[in-house]
Amino acid sequence: MTTAAKTRSRAAGRSSAGQASEADASRRAFADGARFYLQQTPRQLPSRFLYDALGSALFDAICHLPWYRITRGERRLLVRHAREIGRALGAGGRVVELGCGNGEKLATLLTHAGVRHPRAHLIDLSGSALQHAARALEGLDVRVTTHHGTYDEGLLALPPEPAHPTLLAFLGSNIGNFDPPGASALLGVMRGALRPGDALLLGADLVKPERDLLLAYADPLGLTAAFNKNLLVRLNTELGADFGLDGFTHRAVWNRKASRVEMHLVSRRTQAVAVPGAGLRFTLAAGETIWTESSYKYQPEDIRRLAEAGAFVQRKQWIDDEARFALTLFEAS
Ligand SMILES: C[S@@+](CC[C@H](N)C(=O)[O-])C[C@H]1O[C@@H](n2cnc3c(N)ncnc32)[C@H](O)[C@@H]1O
């Protein structure tokens, strides 16, 4: 396993100057995002900001919760259908994973796919997730390149691949963090990075009873609440904000009409807050929320329609009934 050049820097052996400029770029992006989104109505912050090192670790812990079934359901499907998915990759082929997190799902897929000498490109904006992912793939017959950046940045930085097929993996229902126009736009960028005949493996969570959805996003142990409130910790530590954590409550709601679970941070009282690093100062009313994540839930045919509108053709769809989760294999047309 080797780790090669990254979109913004190298995963291993980074100089301290490189690490500092990477941290500066990440803080600038966070400040720009906070300035823009916290002034919207309703106030919001994009879910990509949930994933600093602590956020990534909290997400990994959430995957072990009995109420968060996505990870186990998707892993079952990956194991069961790895050989067939592997055929889309072929010997020496390239797998590109967007938002790889800790890399365990890709390690599971490659362990069971029986593909010789694949190459893997991992794209994630969490540096700590990339480090874990590179480690998860150590010892497997795979050459790893990590790209530290957003999905779009990583896809645009991919080198052309004229000789071998590419399998693009977007797992964990990360697609559900985008509203329908955003998901279509991202699928367009994905399609632009592929050649006809290449493959897309899309994991997407399905609509299920409201009680199950809410338990997954407002778990009785309070891990998802900690994951959500960590955004306030990030605002405090990185942008010098003065959010008091006891002034906010985690809330998950099922928006049936939009078919999405929303996560919010609810202000428990009227309070003035300052975010000096983003040049912001505002007052939150009691009960006012900051909307921090959307997780769209799909019917199986929604997934096909979404990708087929973006020049993909569905080849296979597998559903895990226990978790109500779908893994769909598409071909770029
Ligand atoms: C919900 S976790 C899923 C991780 C893994 N795919 C899984 O299924 O377990 C989302 C991952 O995507 C990354 N991520 C979220 N938004 C992103 C974006 N816009 N660009 C790049 N990475 C992003 C996060 O850092 C995190 O590692």
Give the per-residue pLDDT at 1.
Answer: 37
**317 Cβ inside 6 Å of ligand 1:** no
| pLDDT exceeds 80 at position 30 | yes
**52 Cβ inside 6 Å of ligand 1:** no
**131 Cβ inside 6 Å of ligand 1:** no
Structural domains of the chain in order of their starting residue, each with its CATH number: 41-65+210-296 (no CATH), 68-208+298-332 (3.40.50.150)
Percent of the chain with pLDDT over 70: 94
The DSSP element (H or E) to which 106 belongs, if any, is: helix 104-113
| pLDDT exceeds 90 at position 290 | yes
Give the per-residue pLDDT at 15.
Answer: 62
Q: Which one-letter amino acid corresponds to residue 4?
A: A
pLDDT digits (tens, 9 = 90+) for 160-214: 998 999 999 999 999 999 999 999 999 999 999 999 999 999 999 999 999 999 9
pLDDT digits (tens, 9 = 90+) for 123-164: 999 999 999 999 999 999 999 999 999 999 999 999 999 899
| pLDDT exceeds 60 at position 100 | yes
Our separate counts of H helices and E strands in the chain read: 10, 13
Among protein residues, the one whose CA lies closest to atom 19 of ligand 1: 150
Percent of the chain with pLDDT over 90: 90
Average pLDDT of the residues of the chain: 94
Rounded CA gap, 300 and 284, in Å? Answer: 39
| pLDDT exceeds 60 at position 282 | yes
Span 39-61, mean pLDDT? Answer: 98
| pLDDT exceeds 80 at position 10 | no
**97 Cβ inside 6 Å of ligand 1:** no
Is pTM, for the whole model, over 0.85?
yes
Give the per-residue pLDDT at 14.
Answer: 53
Give the per-residue pLDDT at 171.
Answer: 98
Span 223-240, mean pLDDT? Answer: 98
Rounded CA gap, 178 and 163, in Å? Answer: 32
Give strand pairing partners of 332.
312
pLDDT digits (tens, 9 = 90+) for 233-280: 999 999 999 999 999 999 999 999 999 999 999 999 999 999 999 999
Rounded CA gap, 11 and 256, in Å? Answer: 41
Give the per-residue pLDDT at 167.
Answer: 98
Among protein residues, the one whose CA lies closest to atom 21 of ligand 1: 150
**93 Cβ inside 6 Å of ligand 1:** no
* Residue 177 near residue 293 (C-beta atoms within 8 A): yes
DSSP letter string, 109-164: HHHHH--SS-EEEEEES-HHHHHHHHHHTTTSS-EEEEEES-HHHHHHTPPP--SS
* Residue 307 near residue 314 (C-beta atoms within 8 A): yes
Span 24-43, mean pLDDT? Answer: 96
Give the per-residue pLDDT at 92.
Answer: 87
Q: Which long-range contacts (CB under 8 A, 24 or more apart) does 27-30 make?
A: 27/238, 27/239, 27/277, 30/234, 30/238, 30/239
